[in-house]
Amino acid sequence: MSADTNPSKMDLRTLFGNLAESVGQASPEDLLAEAKAAGQDTEKIAADVKTTLLDAVRGFEQRKLHAARSAYRTRSTARRTRHFVMPTTPAERLRMLTDAATKDKRVARITAKYRDLKELSDEDVQSALEDLMELGAFDDIGEQNGDGNK
Amino acid sequence: MKEKAGPLGGAEMVAGPDEVREAIASLTEAESVKLKRLADGAAYRLRRHVPGTDGNEILQVAIHRVLENKRHWKPQKVDFVGFLGGVIASIEFDWRKQGKREEMPVLEADLHASNADGDEIPNAIQRAVDYRLTPEQLLIESEELTQEELFQQIEALFSEDALASLIYSEWRRGTKGPEIMKALDLTRTEYDTAVRRMDRAIQKNWPEGMPHVR
């Protein structure tokens, strides 16, 4: 067995495969001894590997939690939209806000800054209703009425 | 741990995040060093196809593949280090394939193009199917080594390591590891140790990844 000058029968992928196999086959203890002999700080390497792997688990769980929160938000917004239909006329909208402020202490607290709700423009009334809807203030009304606030 | 139906109808336990976390916490120093070496080796070989790849990135992707259930770890069947070693190998395989297949998206705005004189010039699609090399590509290619030249450079790295040199020349002749061990009367450990010396010498000589060949 000796080297010759003929073109190689090996390609780069085979070379890489041969090199990779020698690490895969090795016992962890042999690799540890080699790394120490090469002057590497194996304790630090080991600690860094554990940190990297644990960070990956944490990152995965956070991503999953974020996705679950996002899905929950989407579901609750859809539920509120189902329960609440914005009245079609300004008078009905104002009545809805006034009724809600009378019946619900939470709404009353929010609307308390207005001396007289009747002085609010329809735009303000709509905006207040939308905010309250977003906060879930009409969920109970919707649930009491079955499928909506009408 | 989640239960998963096995091929013969029996249930097999697939590890979840808690078991994976526990396995990581229980890794010995030697096992961690092995995982690092496997990931760094895969990253090194990948750099020719996917520039900038590093071992930590591969370790993270390996854990994500396990937790996303793309790979099922059954602790009763395979140890964590052996299993992650397999996941690292499959990442290397997938990325090498993707690295070669990478394609640039073609924008609608690229479809019709003309120069300042109003003459039509090749659009992105035409350029994409034009296999002629640009002058820059020709220059780069002319400076690249042939595979044969690269192999000769690698061989020179082992000039002072008789065993490595012998193993390498046998590889080039197409001889497989087991035949080499038999012919040279080497144990598996002796053979692997020499091959790892070769691996380290190559990585030391080309730390950014092995050069491209034409």
Our CA-based measurement puts residue A42 at a distance from the nearest CA of chain B, in whole angstroms, of 7
pLDDT tens sequence across A33-65: 999 999 999 999 999 999 999 999 998 888 878
Exposed / middle / buried, residue A149 (Cβ in 10 Å: 0-12, 13-18, 19+): middle
Higher pLDDT, A141 or B169: B169
Other Cβ atoms within 10 Å of B197 Cβ, number: 18
Q: In the predicted model, is pLDDT for residue B102 greater than 50? A: no
Q: Which residues of A touch B193 (CB under 8 A)?
A: 22, 30, 34
Cβ atoms of residues B21 and A54 within 8 Å: yes
Low-confidence ranges of chain A (pLDDT < 50): 2-4, 145-150
Cβ atoms of residues B165 and B155 within 8 Å: yes
Give the span between the Cα atoms of A132 and A120, in whole angstroms. 16
What is the pLDDT at residue B104? 31
Q: What angle do CA B192, A26, A31 make, to 5 degrees?
A: 100
Give the span between the Cα atoms of A87 and A128, in whole angstroms. 13
Q: B137 pLDDT band (50/70/90 cuts)?
A: low
Give the span between the Cα atoms of B143 and B137, in whole angstroms. 10
Higher pLDDT, B121 or B12: B12
Give the span between the Cα atoms of A95 and A97, in whole angstroms. 5
Give the span between the Cα atoms of A13 and A18, in whole angstroms. 9
Q: Which residues of A touch B29 (CB under 8 A)?
A: 32, 42-43, 46
| Residue spans per domain, chain A | 13-21+25-75, 84-144
Q: B106 pLDDT band (50/70/90 cuts)?
A: very low
Say how many CA atoms lie within 13 Å of B138 toward its Cβ.
5
Query: What mean pLDDT is predicted for residues B20-42?
Result: 97
| Residue spans per domain, chain B | 2-101, 143-214
CB A1 to CB B166 under 8 A? yes
Higher pLDDT, B134 or A14: A14
Q: In the predicted model, is pLDDT for residue B164 greater than 70? A: yes
What is the pLDDT at residue A150? 42
Our CA-based measurement puts residue A22 at a distance from the nearest CA of chain B, in whole angstroms, of 5
SS3 B5: strand
- ipTM here: 0.73
B37: closest chain A residue by CA: A23
Give the span between the Cα atoms of B182 and B150, in whole angstroms. 28
Closest Cβ–Cβ partner in A4, A22, A30 for B199 = A22
Give the span between the Cα atoms of A65 and A30, in whole angstroms. 40
Supply B83's token pair.
């299993």
Higher pLDDT, B126 or A148: B126
Our CA-based measurement puts residue A67 at a distance from the nearest CA of chain B, in whole angstroms, of 13
What is the pLDDT at residue B161? 95
Alpha helix locations (H) across A7-41? Answer: 12-24, 28-37
What is the pLDDT at residue B69? 82
Give the span between the Cα atoms of B31 and B41, in whole angstroms. 15
Closest Cβ–Cβ partner in A18, A28, A57 for B34 = A28
Give the span between the Cα atoms of B38 and B89, in whole angstroms. 8
SS (H, E, C) B62-121: HHHHHHCCCCCCCCCCCCHHHHHHHHHHHHHHHHHHHHHHCCCCCCHHHCCCECCCCCEC
Higher pLDDT, A124 or B58: B58
Tell whether A68 lies on the interface with B, counting CB pairs under 8 A. no
Closest Cβ–Cβ partner in B17, B36, B89 for A45 = B36
Our CA-based measurement puts residue A41 at a distance from the nearest CA of chain B, in whole angstroms, of 10
Query: What mean pLDDT is predicted for residues B178-204?
Result: 95
- The 10 Å CB-count burial string (b at 16+, else e) for A53-75 is beebbeebeeeeeeeeeeeeeee
Nearest by Cα to A110 from A91, A130, A88, A93 = A130
Higher pLDDT, B1 or B164: B164
Left (φ > 0), alpha (ψ -120 to 50) or beta: where does B118 sit? left
Q: In the predicted model, is pLDDT for residue B170 greater than 70? A: yes
